[in-house]
Amino acid sequence: MKREYEIAAKSLLLCSSLFLSFSSLLFAQTLKTVPVGIAGLNNNTIHSFVSRDTGLFRKYGLDARLVVFQAGSLLAQASMAGEIKISNIAGPVSIASRSAGSDSIIVAALINTLPYKMIVAKSITRSDQLVGKKIGISRFGSSTDTAVRLFLAKFGLNADKDVVIVQAGEQGNRYAALVAGGIDATIVGVPTDITAQKQGFLVLADFAQLQIPYPQSVIATSDRLTREDPLLVKNFLKGLIAGIHYGFTNAATTKASLEKYVKIKDPEFLEATYQDYLHLTDRRAYPNIEGIRFAVEEVAKRMPVTKGKKPEDFVNLKFLQELESDGFFKELYAK
């Protein structure tokens, strides 16, 4: 009798294991795979990684395959070729791509302001003292170029007359040029601003606090995908926005993601980067239309075909509006 009981128990255990394996396989087969492009891996593009690693994309039926590109232009090309379905990219890149004939369309925005801080030579303490000085940017036509011009305009200065804008390369090179005295000011992000302050340089302005609207980090897809598979786009946004909520409410896990992917080890830098994430990220992911307008004007300077276009020509708010009417935001933030 005991022997028969043991055999029955083992059979039941085997059936249970097979059922669980089959259920897991069935669940995996129901997930829809979507290749997602990320333009550069940094604290401004960490959001999709949080959503993937916490299972929030899977919760909404997606197997998000995240692919990091070193440049937004390369990501735009992959999107045009159909290799990437959804992109986390800078707003001007999507606008330029659409202006060039693609059907790229912005459906959400993660960062609607400029994530920079203006650091200046130790002799400068006011914005008017920038007159006649050299300000370092990465390259002409970049977001750093636009950021400096918008900053100067806010304080009544003309970028083409009152200062000298210098192409100084990536952030590390710009900061090195400031330390060496080759330039008088530049813009940087976290945690370089902390290093600068420790070495006696002044942060003249935090651009986010100035509330200069700009589509620094957006979610773009194609008109075709919004027509042919609108549910995929909607579910992606659900998973992404749920991940943003998770990032805001689970500091330790989000810091772990920043440490893992952005390679930030120093505890002080890690905390500052996380605070920057909270400070910059738009929790509802709505694009700022005035910021889109600035970006359209920026692109039009190098792409005449963009001139006269409206911000609305580059944005589709349908999916966010549906999430609003469905009660998604209300339910998410009630938790």
User: Which DSSP helix (H) or strand (E) runs through 216?
Assistant: strand 213-222
128: closest CA among 140, 117, 120?
A: 120
Instruction: Reply yes or no on whether the pLDDT at 215 is more than 70.
Output: yes
- pLDDT for 14 equals 47
Please tell me the CATH superfamily of domain 117-210, with its number.
Periplasmic binding protein-like II (3.40.190.10)
- pLDDT for 170 equals 84
- Domain locations in the chain as residue ranges: 31-114+213-334, 117-210
CA distance 42 to 260: 11
213-222 sheet: strands from edge to edge:
62-69, 32-39, 86-89, 213-222, 104-113
Please tell me the CATH superfamily of domain 31-114+213-334, with its number.
Periplasmic binding protein-like II (3.40.190.10)
CA distance 217 to 210: 18
Mean pLDDT for 60-88 is 89
CA distance 307 to 315: 16
Instruction: Reply yes or no on whether the pLDDT at 78 is more than 50.
Output: yes
51: closest CA among 239, 278, 217?
A: 239
- pLDDT for 22 equals 47
Q: Chain centroid to CA 220: how far?
A: 11
| End-to-end Cα separation, the chain, in angstroms | 53
Instruction: Reply yes or no on whether the pLDDT at 8 is more than 60.
Output: no
Mean pLDDT for 183-197 is 89
Residues near 310 by beta carbon (within 8 Å), at least 6 away in sequence = 296
Cα-based distances in Å from 121 to 171, 191, 203, 275: 16, 18, 10, 26
- pLDDT for 29 equals 54
Task: Please determine whether the domains at 31-114+213-334 and 117-210 fall in the same fold group of CATH.
Answer: yes
Per-residue confidence at 262, pLDDT binned at 50, 70, 90? confident
Residue predicted with more confidence, 141 or 279: 279
108: closest CA among 313, 323, 284, 246?
A: 284
Instruction: Reply yes or no on whether the pLDDT at 16 is more than 70.
Output: no
Dihedral of CA atoms 132, 297, 241, 171 in degrees, nearest 10, equals -30
CA distance 106 to 218: 7
204: closest CA among 279, 280, 128, 141?
A: 128
Mean pLDDT for 243-264 is 93
pLDDT digits (tens, 9 = 90+) for 283-297: 999 999 999 998 998
Mean pLDDT for 181-192 is 91
DSSP letter (8 states) at residue 51: H
Q: What's the predicted TM-score (pTM) here?
A: 0.82
Looking at every residue in the chain, the average pLDDT score rounds to: 88
202-206 sheet: strands from edge to edge:
164-167, 134-137, 185-188, 117-120, 202-206
Instruction: Reply yes or no on whether the pLDDT at 106 is more than 80.
Output: yes
